[in-house]
């Protein structure tokens, strides 16, 4: 594993220029397939007697560079990239679980993940108990005999709850199940869940890691620390019918899950990342350390400014002293709390719609983590499919506006919000 520091790894890990004809940038290997030397070589590749490239659904040199870089940045033994963050999550869970299995998850999750767990996976026999993750004891209470994973977000989107990852990881260890942490909002530049006991880390690369709003992508980073031989995961310890009798835990040791994700997850579900997108994401990743610092600074400054505004009912940013997550944020995110800020606008649903319609620099759209500032009203958009109780549990109130604070000059961002606030009905301000 690399001993270099984060910012150096963000620029160099996973790329040996000797393997790319000296190119300083990582090339886009836009090829679906790779020529085998002969049939014996091909047979060796398929049987894993030799490692090499077969077909871009399984592996690709550009994607592999991104995988190795992400593994270095999160401190894992391996990583696999996917067509989107959602593909990473669904393929990861489908590779890990079978019908009859059960997940314990935080109720504060990205909307798409929440519906995957609450609606789609139950259709396939995989159920989830959602818990209030602010109390790690709740995970223990929800464990069943068939529980096979804990799933949380290190910094919940959009509730912005900071979790006590160490305490939850202890409960996962006691239950002998992998602790899966979606680290998208924090990014590896601010938080490394593996240091706090996570076994698998998930990213939507679409967000801060790419940072330019130009490419979808996702990843799973495997810490290599989970004991698949504990009796709960026979698919790792018995000959795999899906891969000519391979016993993953014996043949691949700490990298068992990484390989299962490639050999079965990508093979069967097909969510491969386009090498062109991998290239775009690599460009973004190079500047992640400096971008996330500025996102965090701008977000904190704007959150403080919002706290002083008459139009604003409440402000939620884990870096604010008024936040109930402030202490956990100082512990887990001491170098910045990333770029998302949520706040309640006086006048509720109607005012929230007016403000999100009126901003000029903040773009109204369903993404986060772009260098450009973004705004959304989750109750009418991203979390619209959730019923009132589920909206409440995921922290989405009717008056909530989510900002993804970009890298623009902070004074321009304040001016933009100020003119948008001027559109709301002033009678709501006297409340």
Ligand X SMILES: *Cc1c(COP(=O)(O)O)cnc(C)c1O
Helix axes 288-307, 275-286, angle to 10 degrees: 70
Q: Closest separation between CB of residue 176 and ligand X, Å?
A: 26
Binding mask 26-65 for ligand X (x = CB under 6 A): ----------------------------------------
**From CA 299, how far away is CA 341, in angstroms rounded?**
6
Measured in degrees and rounded to the nearest 5, phi and psi for residue 258 equal -55, -45
Applying CB under 6 A, which of residues 84, 107, 128, 323 lies at the interface with ligand X?
84
Q: Does residue number 171 form part of the binding site for ligand X (CB under 6 A)? A: no
Q: Does residue number 213 form part of the binding site for ligand X (CB under 6 A)? A: no
Stretch in the footprint of ligand X (CB under 6 A) among 50-58, 162-170, 181-189, 396-404: 181-189
| Residue in the shown chain whose Cβ atom is closest to ligand X | 85
Count, in order, helices (H) and strands (E) of the chain.
18, 12
Applying CB under 6 A, which of residues 182, 235, 264, 399 lies at the interface with ligand X?
182
Sign of CA dihedral 235, 239, 244, 250: positive
Q: Closest separation between CB of residue 282 and ligand X, Å?
A: 16
Closer to ligand X at the Cβ: 271 or 347? Answer: 271
Extract the runs of DSSP E, i.e. beta strands, from 229-317.
312-316
Applying CB under 6 A, which of residues 69, 102, 196, 207 lies at the interface with ligand X?
207
**From CA 239, how far away is CA 309, in angstroms rounded?**
63
Closer to ligand X at the Cβ: 152 or 361? Answer: 152
Q: Closest separation between CB of residue 173 and ligand X, Å?
A: 24
Q: Does residue number 212 form part of the binding site for ligand X (CB under 6 A)? A: no
Q: Closest separation between CB of residue 207 and ligand X, Å?
A: 6
Helix axes 410-421, 288-307, angle to 10 degrees: 40
Stretch in the footprint of ligand X (CB under 6 A) among 105-113, 297-305, 353-361, 393-401: 105-113
User: How remote is the C-alpha of 331 from its chain's centroid?
Assistant: 20
Stretch in the footprint of ligand X (CB under 6 A) among 90-98, 203-211, 240-248, 386-394: 203-211
**From CA 8, how far away is CA 180, in angstroms rounded?**
26
Stretch in the footprint of ligand X (CB under 6 A) among 4-12, 23-31, 80-88, 171-179: 80-88
Applying CB under 6 A, which of residues 216, 386, 403, 420 lies at the interface with ligand X?
216
DSSP 32: S
Q: Which residues contact 195 (CB under 8 A, 6 or more apart)?
A: 75
Sign of CA dihedral 387, 392, 397, 402: negative
Helix axes 348-358, 410-421, angle to 10 degrees: 130
Applying CB under 6 A, which of residues 59, 206, 351, 356 lies at the interface with ligand X?
206
Applying CB under 6 A, which of residues 184, 187, 210, 371 lies at the interface with ligand X?
184
Q: Does residue number 165 form part of the binding site for ligand X (CB under 6 A)? A: no
Q: How far apart are the first and last CA of the chain?
A: 57
Q: Does residue number 210 form part of the binding site for ligand X (CB under 6 A)? A: no
Residue 344's DSSP bridge partners are 314, 400
Residues 366-385 that bind ligand X (CB under 6 A): 368
Closer to ligand X at the Cβ: 72 or 209? Answer: 209
Closer to ligand X at the Cβ: 130 or 259? Answer: 130
Helix (H, G, I), strand (E, B), or coil: what is residue 121?
Answer: helix
Extract the runs of DSSP E, i.e. beta strands, from 102-178.
102-106, 127-131, 147-153
Binding mask 106-125 for ligand X (x = CB under 6 A): ----x-xx------------
**Which stretch of DSSP H or E encloses residue 204?**
strand 200-204
Q: Does residue number 204 form part of the binding site for ligand X (CB under 6 A)? A: yes
Instruction: Please check whether residue 405 is in contact with residue 373, taking contact to mean a CB–CB distance below 8 angstroms.
Output: yes
Q: Does residue number 358 form part of the binding site for ligand X (CB under 6 A)? A: no
Q: Which residues bind ligand X (CB under 6 A)?
A: 84-86, 110, 112-113, 153, 157, 182, 184-185, 204, 206-207, 216, 218, 368
């Amino acid at each position: 594993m690399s001993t270099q520091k984060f910012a150096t790894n963000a620029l160099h890990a996973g790329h040996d220029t000797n393997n790319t004809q000296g190119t300083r940038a990582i090339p886009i290997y836009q090829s679906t397939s790779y020529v085998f030397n002969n049939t014996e070589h091909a047979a060796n590749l398929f049987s894993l007697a030799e490692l090499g490239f077969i077909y871009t659904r399984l592996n690709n040199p550009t994607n592999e560079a991104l995988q190795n870089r992400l593994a270095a940045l999160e401190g894992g033994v391996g990583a696999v990239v996917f067509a989107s963050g959602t593909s990473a999550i669904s393929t990861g869970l489908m590779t890990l679980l079978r019908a009859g299995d059960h997940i314990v998850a935080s109720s504060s999750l990205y909307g798409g993940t929440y519906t995957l767990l609450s609606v789609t996976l139950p259709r396939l026999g995989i159920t989830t108990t959602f818990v209030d993750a602010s109390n790690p004891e709740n995970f223990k209470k929800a464990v069943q005999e068939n529980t096979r994973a804990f799933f949380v977000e290190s910094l919940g989107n959009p509730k912005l709850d900071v979790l006590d990852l160490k305490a939850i990881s202890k409960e996962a260890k006691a239950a002998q199940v992998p602790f899966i942490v979606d680290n998208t909002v924090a990014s590896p530049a601010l938080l490394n869940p593996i240091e706090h006991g996570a076994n698998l880390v998930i990213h939507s690369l679409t967000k801060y890691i790419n940072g330019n709003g130009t490419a979808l992508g996702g990843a799973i980073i495997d810490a290599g620390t989970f004991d698949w031989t504990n009796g709960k995961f026979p698919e790792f310890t018995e000959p795999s019918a899906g891969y000519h009798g391979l016993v993953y835990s014996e043949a691949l040791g700490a990298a068992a899950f990484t390989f299962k994700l490639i050999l079965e997850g990508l093979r069967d579900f097909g969510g491969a990342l386009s090498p062109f997108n991998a290239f775009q994401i690599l460009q973004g990743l190079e500047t992640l350390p400096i971008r996330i610092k500025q996102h965090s600074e701008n977000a904190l400054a704007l959150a403080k400014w919002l706290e002083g505004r008459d139009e604003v009912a409440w402000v939620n940013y884990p870096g604010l002293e008024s936040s109930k997550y402030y202490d956990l944020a100082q512990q887990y995110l001491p170098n910045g709390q990333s770029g998302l800020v949520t706040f309640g606008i006086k006048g509720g649903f109607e005012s929230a719609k007016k403000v999100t319609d009126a901003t000029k620099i903040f773009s109204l759209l369903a993404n986060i983590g772009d260098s450009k500032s973004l705004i959304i009203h989750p109750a009418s958009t991203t979390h619209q499919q959730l019923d009132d109780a589920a909206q409440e549990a995921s922290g989405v109130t009717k008056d909530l506006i989510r900002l993804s604070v970009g890298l623009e000059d902070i004074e321009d961002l304040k001016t933009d919000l100020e003119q948008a606030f001027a559109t709301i009905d002033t009678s709501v301000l006297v409340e």
